[in-house]
Amino acid sequence: MKGGTGVYQGKRRWRFLAVGVLFLVVLSMLVPLVFLLGLHNGFHTTGYASDHSSSSSDSPKEHNVPKILNHFLPNLPIEEDSIESHANEERNLTSNTNSNHDSQSHPEDAPAPPHSLPPPPADGNNNNPQTADKTKFNRSIVDESEKLCELRYGSYCLWREQHREDMKDSMVKKLKDRLFVARSYYPSIAKLPGQSQLTQELKQCIQELERVFSESTTDADLKPSIQKTSERMEVAIAKSKKFPVECHNVARKLGQILEITEDEAHFHMRQSAFLYQLAVQTMPKSLHCLSMKLTVEYFNSALRDMELPPSEKFSDPTLHHYVMFSNNILASSVVINSTVTHTRDSGNMVFHVLTDEQNYFGMKLWFFRNTYREAAIQVLNIEHLDLDYHDKAALLSMSLPVEFRVSFHSVDNPSSTSLKTEYISVFSHAHYLLPYIFQNLKKVVVLDDDVVIQRDLSDLWNINLGGKVNGALQLCSVRLGQLTRYLGDNIFDKNSCLWMSGLNIIDLARWRELDLTETYRKLGQLVTKLTESIEGAALTASLLTFDDQIFALDKVWVLSGLGHDRELNAQDIKNAAVLHYNGKMKPWLELGIPKYKHYWKSYLNGDDQFLSQCNVNQ
């Protein structure tokens, strides 16, 4: 008995020691954790409170967690704010789940949340730990993103808040979306047995919305009863969603929507192209206003009764004569002003502006009111000229230099599928009357009205053309052989370079000697029979008339492309003597390329009262 008692006492001592060691081990793990979390400062309740158990809303644990993490982590105020926000949300959730007695007893200890948050849902799901965790996480993300938006200068969310606009016709767009959804469900629902009532509801809602859209296109056109219609549609769609839907019906309906959208996109693209062409070919309202006001002022002034004698300068062959065909008063004035501004001697300059009868009187008054140093300016009505030419009726009509948009394969890479586009400007029919209009002159410089002069052009008169008729800029990047689709298979040198109007030195004496006007007339008749395109015939006749009669000017004289090429080199623009705005985007149009406009606008007379009255864009 004694030995058994000793064994039993030994076992009790062993168990006591084991329990003691285990207790010391547990205590050694808990004590550092308690001091680390700072929980020794305020356990108001016994035991450890879980995230979703009842706890005080001002628990020091919640206040100290951000401080402790901030001590160990880098100084990131945004994360600290997010943690504080998360703690506040946790307190709100726990206090809503249980009694808020503690939070009411210590209201001064609970800091106000940085942003107002929506109240928790009232569906009784707050006691679900997963739902509560998800809600807290989502709210912390929203709160953090708002703070990031506030702290990031120039962020999109700040811009969005500052420029927020209400969606226009939101109800119409919503109803259209519901109509598409209903149409997708209808074929599947109609096939289900026993769902005739739902099928009828969907059909009625679809028909009613279609009738609404046939009468209304904006929210303002909708009737007050549209809200009930929308609610009935929502109910019908909600019922339809309870049934399985055949995917091919939905795919077919979405395909139909896609086709409709593509058709609308193509229509708007074609409409945009048409309106673009209309915009570039129609005189802007401001320029039309300027011409009309000047015309009215001309007939109201004493200038109508004064027939000024022609100046002797107009027919003096020793002077520098510049010729321009134009019906644009503003563009003509810019050409003349820019030319006179850069010349050394304006006293020997004579400008001849040929225009039509509609713009003749306004043009005449403009250049009577505005002087350009000592330069002489003559305005001629081309429709009333008395010319000694037997076929003048075929040519005598106001026509501007003709621009052709051509696309072709590059000379360097003819096998490439990509096409290069150029705007080629050539003489019009009226240009071939120059030898008969200016019978006393031997040489003239022809300027288009879409150019700007940046250097003195006096040196042009010293260029020896070497027996050629037309000194012009040549485009050897384009060969005649590349334009067979426009010119046809006519007999010409396919390796010849194209020439451009814009700045042309014309030897009228040599022109008369070769009778190029008659050559042009005969070529025009011949090519018209061979070529279906009228534009192609005109281009061919004009190019072939000066075949082997072109003197190539140095490229530094003219830089073309400012009316269509957005990638021109700034240094090339600065070095060019003449800037040619060939292309559709003329500088006086709203469609003009903005970065090239100031070269043209700098030569406008901004103080003129007629420009202000017509709101000419300056």
In tens, the pLDDT along 21-44 reads 777 777 666 656 655 555 444 444
Query: Which residue's structure tokens are 């009577």?
Result: 368
Look-up of token digits 């046809």: 488
- CA dist., res. 584 & res. 52, Å (int): 72
What is residue 169's predicted lDDT score, i.e. its pLDDT? 79
- pLDDT interval class at 254 (50, 70, 90): confident
Q: Contact, 579 vs 454, CB < 8 A?
A: yes
Instruction: Please report the pLDDT score of residue 562 as a whole number.
Output: 92
pLDDT at 268: 79
8-17, 127-136, 296-305: range with highest mean pLDDT: 296-305
DSSP state, residue 277 = H
Mean pLDDT of 78-86: 43
Q: Mean pLDDT of all residues in the chain?
A: 75
Alpha carbon of 305 to those of 300, 517, 542: distances in Å? 10, 37, 41
Residue 541: per-residue pLDDT: 83
Which comes out higher in pLDDT, residue 127 or 78? 127
Question: CA 592, 598, 600, 602: dihedral to nearest 10 degrees?
Answer: 150
Beta partners for 402? 426
Provide the percentage of residues in the chain whose pLDDT is more than 70. 64
| Higher-pLDDT residue of 594, 269 | 594
Phi, psi of 349 (to 5 degrees): -100, 135
What pLDDT shows up at residue 158? 62
pLDDT at 580 over 50: yes
Quote the pTM value: 0.59
C-alpha torsion angle, residues 393, 396, 399, 404 (rounded to 10): 50
- Give yes or no for a contact between 423 and 583, defined as CB atoms under 8 angstroms apart: yes
First-last CA distance in the chain:
123
- State the pLDDT at residue 341: 94
**Lowest mean pLDDT across 217-221, 313-317, 346-350, 535-539:** 535-539
- What is the rounded CA–CA span in Å between residue 152 and residue 562? 41
The β-bridge relationship of strands 497-507 and 443-447 is: antiparallel
Percent share of the chain, pLDDT over 90: 26
Secondary structure (DSSP) of 403-457: EEEEEE--SS-TT-S--EEEEEEE--GGGGGHHHHSTT-SEEEEE-TTEEE-S--
Model confidence at 375, pLDDT cuts 50, 70, 90, reads very high
pLDDT of 615 reads: 82
Whether the Cβ atoms of residue 546 and residue 469 lie closer than 8 Å to each other: yes
**What is the C-alpha to C-alpha distance for residues 219 and 207, in angstroms, rounded to an integer?**
19
Mean pLDDT computed over 87-108:
44
Per-residue model confidence (pLDDT) at position 410? 62
Q: Tell me which of 146 and 400 has the higher pLDDT.
A: 400
Residues 6+ apart with CB under 8 A from 520: 432, 541, 542, 545
CA distance 555 to 558: 6
Distance CA 395, CA 218 (A): 54
Q: Is the pLDDT of residue 17 over 80?
A: no
CB atoms within 10 A of CB 330: 23
Q: Which two tokens stand for residue 483?
A: 């334009």
- Model confidence at 221, pLDDT cuts 50, 70, 90, reads confident
Residue 453 has pLDDT above 90, yes or no: yes
Average pLDDT over residues 157-176: 72
pLDDT over threshold 50, residue 53: no
Structural tokens at position 67: 């401080």
> Predicted confidence band at 68 (pLDDT cuts at 50, 70, 90)?
very low
- pLDDT-derived band of residue 279, with 50, 70 and 90 as boundaries? low
172 vs 463, residue with greater confidence: 463
The pLDDT of residue 495: 74
**15-19, 408-412, 573-577: which is most confident:** 573-577
Q: Residue 123 corresponds to which tokens in the numbers above?
A: 């569906």
Question: What integer is the mean pLDDT of 57-62?
Answer: 43
Of residues 342 and 257, the one with the higher pLDDT is 342
